[in-house]
Amino acid sequence: MNAYYRALPFASGLPQWEPADAAWHGGAEPWPPQRTPATAEQLEEWAEADVQDESFHPIATFADGACVGASAAISFDVTVPGGGTVKTAGVTSTGVIATHRRRGYLRRMMQAMFEAALDRGEPLAMLSASEGSIYGRFGFSPATYRTRWELARHEAALLPAAPDPGSLELVDAAQAKQFWPVVHAKVRANRVGELTPLPGRWDRLSDGADGTNGPLRYLAHRDQHGEVDGIANFRLPWSSTAVNAGTLVVEALEATNPTAYRALWSLMVDFDLTKTIVAPGRPRDEPLRWMLANPRAMRITRQSDNLWARLLDVPRALTQRSYDTAGEVAFTVDDDQMCPANNRTWLLRAGGTSVTCVATDQQADLTITISALSSLYFGGMSAHDLTYAGRITPHADGVIAQLTRLFRIDPEPHNSFGF
C-alpha cells in the first residue's frame, strides 16, 4: 500500500508550479505549499483511513512487479441543473513515477476508472486539472470557473440597501466547524456544481496561526430568528513589504440568502486597518459586483477553469438534470473512444418534469464532441463558443440557439471546493 501512495504526486513531494500555470489554485503564491515527501508512518495512516472509506476507489499500475502509477476515484454527488444530484466519480491524485511517464499508464488507469464508475452507476466523472493540456484527450472539459478578484477598500462603497434584521458574529474554529456543514448543505442544494463534502471536510479549521498567513478567522451571520445563514473564512496575512500590507483575504464565503451575503461582504470590504480585499476562489458571477457603487472597482486578477466534467453515460447523465424550457434536439456523438456506447445519435426531449434521451435513427440536428457535451452539461458554458471553436457542428438553422435555451442556466455553476 505504501508503494501506491509513493506514486501519488502529493506524497512524493510534488514540485511547485508557478501560480499562473496552477491557475485553478488562484492564490498569490506558488502552489502547493512547501511539503516534504511523506514518512512511512504518514503513508500507513493514510492507508488505514482510506481502506475504511467506501467512497474511495484506488487504482494502481505496475511494471516489472513494481507500482509505477496510481490514482483514485472518489464517489460523491454533484448538484446539477434543477437541484437534483448526480453520482460522480471524482478522479484525483493521479501520478506516474518520473521514469515511466508518457508510456500510456495514465490512459490505462483512466479507462479502468471509467469502467468501474459505470459499474457503480456513476454516469459522470470530474476532476481538477494540474495542467490544462492533459485531460481533454480523455473527454474531460471545463465545466466551472474559478475567479480571483481584488478590491481597493477606498473604492468599495456599497449601494444603499434595507437594514439587516439579522446580526454578524466573529466566531472561533469550533463554532465554524458546526456552522459550515449547515450553511453549505443549503447552498449546495441551490448551486449547480457544488459537491457533497468529503468526510472531515471542515475538521482542519483551527484558530492557530499558519506561518505569515496569520490565523484563519471566521465571521458568521444569523437571521432575525438566530439561525446561522452565512459564514466567511478570512485572513489578515502579515507582509514584509509596506506595499502588500493591509490585505484581507477572503478564503471562503457562503450565504443562503441575499441579506446574509450582503452583511458578510459589507464587513469584509470595510475592515479597519486594511486597504485591499482579495478573494481567490470565487464564482465568475459574483453578485457583490452589482452591490458596488463603482462596479469597475472589482478587478479580476485571474480566471481559470475549475472542475472538468466527462459524461460517461450520455443518456443517463442527460436525463438526471432538468431543463427550464421544453424542447428537443437530436445530436450525434461519434468521437468517444473510451466509452464507445456513447457513439450514437440521441434524441433529447425535455418537457415539464419529464426528460427522455434515447437512441434514434432520425437525422441529427448537430454533431457534438463528447468533451463539448460534457462542458455544456452543467449549463455554464456557451454552445455558441463551442460551435465557433469547431466542437459542435450544426446541421440545421437555429439548432445552436435551441441548445442554448435547453442547457444554459443562471446563476452559473460553481464549486466552492474541489477534491
Tell me the binding residues for acetyl-CoA. Answer: 102-107, 130-131
Nearer to ligand ACO, 107 or 395 (CB): 107
Active site residue 419: yes
CA–CA separation, 113 and 129 (whole Å): 16
The half-sphere exposure of 94 on its side-chain side, counting CA atoms within 13 A, is 20
Would you count residue 102 as binding ligand ACO (CB under 6 A)?
A: yes
Would you count residue 106 as binding ligand ACO (CB under 6 A)?
A: yes
Interface with ligand ACO (CB under 6 A), residue total 22
Nearer to ligand ACO, 137 or 395 (CB): 137
| Contact between 357 and 125 (Cβ < 8 Å) | no
Instruction: Considering the candidates 135, 179, 234, 331, report the single residue annotated as catalytic.
Output: 135
Pure H helices in 246-351: 258-268, 288-291, 314-319
- For 39, other C-beta atoms within 10 Å of its C-beta total 10
Contacts of 307 (CB under 8 A, 6+ apart): 126, 127, 128, 142, 143, 144, 193, 415, 418
Would you count residue 104 as binding ligand ACO (CB under 6 A)?
A: yes
Of 123-131, 198-206, 299-307, 327-335: span binding ligand ACO (CB under 6 A):
123-131
Would you count residue 105 as binding ligand ACO (CB under 6 A)?
A: yes
Of 37-45, 132-140, 142-150, 256-264: span binding ligand ACO (CB under 6 A):
132-140
Sheet holding 299-305, edge to edge: 167-171, 217-222, 228-235, 247-255, 276-282, 145-152, 299-305
- CA 239, distance to chain mean position in Å, is 30
Would you count residue 12 as binding ligand ACO (CB under 6 A)?
A: no
CA–CA separation, 120 and 117 (whole Å): 5
Nearer to ligand ACO, 59 or 231 (CB): 59
- Residues of the binding site: 102-107, 130-131
Would you count residue 35 as binding ligand ACO (CB under 6 A)?
A: no
Would you count residue 22 as binding ligand ACO (CB under 6 A)?
A: no
Of 111-119, 128-136, 263-271, 313-321: span binding ligand ACO (CB under 6 A):
128-136
CA–CA separation, 418 and 90 (whole Å): 9
| Contact set with ligand ACO (CB under 6 A) | 9, 69, 91-96, 101-107, 127, 129-131, 133-134, 137
